[in-house]
Amino acid sequence: MRSFAAMANNYSNSAVRNIGVGLVGFGTVGTGVWETIEKNGSLMTERSQGKFALNVVKAAVRDISKKRIENAPSDLFTSDWNEVVNCQEVEIVVELIGGTTTAFDIVVAALKLGKPVVTGNKALLAERGKELFALSREYKTPIHFEAAVAGGIPVIKAVQDSYIGNEIESMFGIINGTSNYILERMTTGGLAYPEALQEAQELGYAEADPTLDVNGWDAAHKAILLASLAYGFSIDPKEVYVRGIERVRSIDIEFAKGLGYVVKLLSVVKRHENGNIELRTQPSFISKSHILSSVNGVFNAVAIRGDASGDALFYGRGAGKEPTASSVVADLAEACYALEKSGAHRGFLPYSDEGQVMNIDETETPYYVRFDVTDRPGVIAEIANVLANDGIGIAGTHSPNDPENPDKDFVDMVFRLHTCPFGKLKATLKKTMKLDCVNSEPVVFRIENLTA
């Protein structure tokens, strides 16, 4: 690595500004940020034409006695985040601890001190962003959050900058690597859900507590951020429909294959003609002919359609030490430029006081519905009669073998249904649950048309 002194000599017209960075959190991503700055800091200075050099001067950790990176000085660490935020040498604060309580306090404290914040905390911004971005405007201090969505993929900057002249018509995202890996292993490896989850945990793709990944909320928080950026208004997570992959079974995977689909945890952000925004996350059938169907493993992808730009795909690693650290460091560079221009604010800038998330009951797609039924004559007719009485069209029915439970006394009955409002479907399915032959709540997958 070239020395800072030798590098600085290349810029005789102006001195390189040495900018102090404070890290709150020094786990996987925090150490990745440290290593990236150590490795490529001089390159960043050169690319900035000598305007700045990053220097991590303080880091807050949970356990001060834990062994850290060998070349990190011992006096770098503290167990008190206040020491990081209030350190005079720290000009930019990086929040990497997660959660929505202490992390909120950290961001608030930094903003009030006029210190730009970099964070990858999608839950914090999705659930408490309205308060934080109001403070950001009040103190004219930006919040940067590229790492909050899709790891190393620069989709936030694309939506903020590249699409500034576009009305964004839709965004379809596979934005949780853990769920995507599990579904891929169920599809290509023939694993049942518990086995695929266990494998993901053993490989480090899933946490010991994978709840937020598999229940859909990790992806939903990211979708909320993308929608807020695209349409300019704050979104209450309570208005967002979210379902996870916990009830996906091998029978669903195999049935999808037979129809020419794959099952993915899909986030949908779509603007309708009346201005309302459709915003939902759930397991969905995606045609094998669509490019998103080939996004496998822990990779993420976001397909964006602008009225001027047309279709584009952003694809890459959605998590992990190096990709996420790359996005954090990119935001650090952005924050450095903001420091150069007093009052500059290139973080989230809400531009609309009005906006409406579409009621999930009004959204429409075709559906795949799996019923757990008692194996006896007349079952299909009983369920079909309820659907027909409510005006829901049936595209096909099937009673496939369940590879996970080949000898069970009850069977799965699958119905493919024509497009109808989701609220109408829910009301009808409640009626089917009153039938003696239906043993549990039906499982619903949307069959997506990603060209609309």
Six token digits for residue 394? 């049936």
Dist. CA 78–CA 5, nearest whole Å: 28
**For residue 223, how many C-alpha atoms fall within 13 Å in the half-sphere facing its CB?**
32
Distances (CA, A) of 114 to 88, 148, 262, 338: 12, 22, 48, 11
First to last CA, the chain: 50
Q: Is 140 a catalytic residue?
A: no
DSSP assignment of 279-299 equals: EEEEEEEEETTSGGGG--TTE
Contact of 92 with 335, CB cutoff 8 Å: yes
Q: Which residue has the tokens 């999705």?
A: 126
| Crossing angle between the packed helical segments 122-138 and 217-231, to the nearest 10 degrees | 30
Residue among 51, 115, 222, 270 flagged as catalytic:
222
Both tokens assigned to 149? 């969505």
- Name every residue whose Cβ is closer than 8 Å to that of residue 211 and which is 6 or more positions away in sequence: none
Determine how many CB atoms are found less than 10 A away from the CB of residue 188.
11
The answer to whether 45 and 2 have CB atoms below 8 angstroms apart is no
Contact status, residue 180 vs residue 293, Cβ threshold 8 Å:
no
SS3 of residue 226 by DSSP: helix
Q: Are 432 and 371 in contact (CB under 8 A)?
A: yes
Q: Is 372 exposed, middle or buried (CB count within 10 Å of its CB: 0-12, 13-18, 19+)?
A: middle
Cα separation, 299 vs 284, in Å, equals: 17
- Backbone phi, psi, residue 404, to 5°: -85, -25
Query: For residue 253, what are the contacts with CB-CB under 8 A and spacing of at least 6?
Result: 183, 186, 187, 263
Maximum C-alpha span of the chain: 88
Q: How many residues does the chain have?
A: 452
State the Rg of the chain over Cα: 25
Give catalytic residue positions: 222
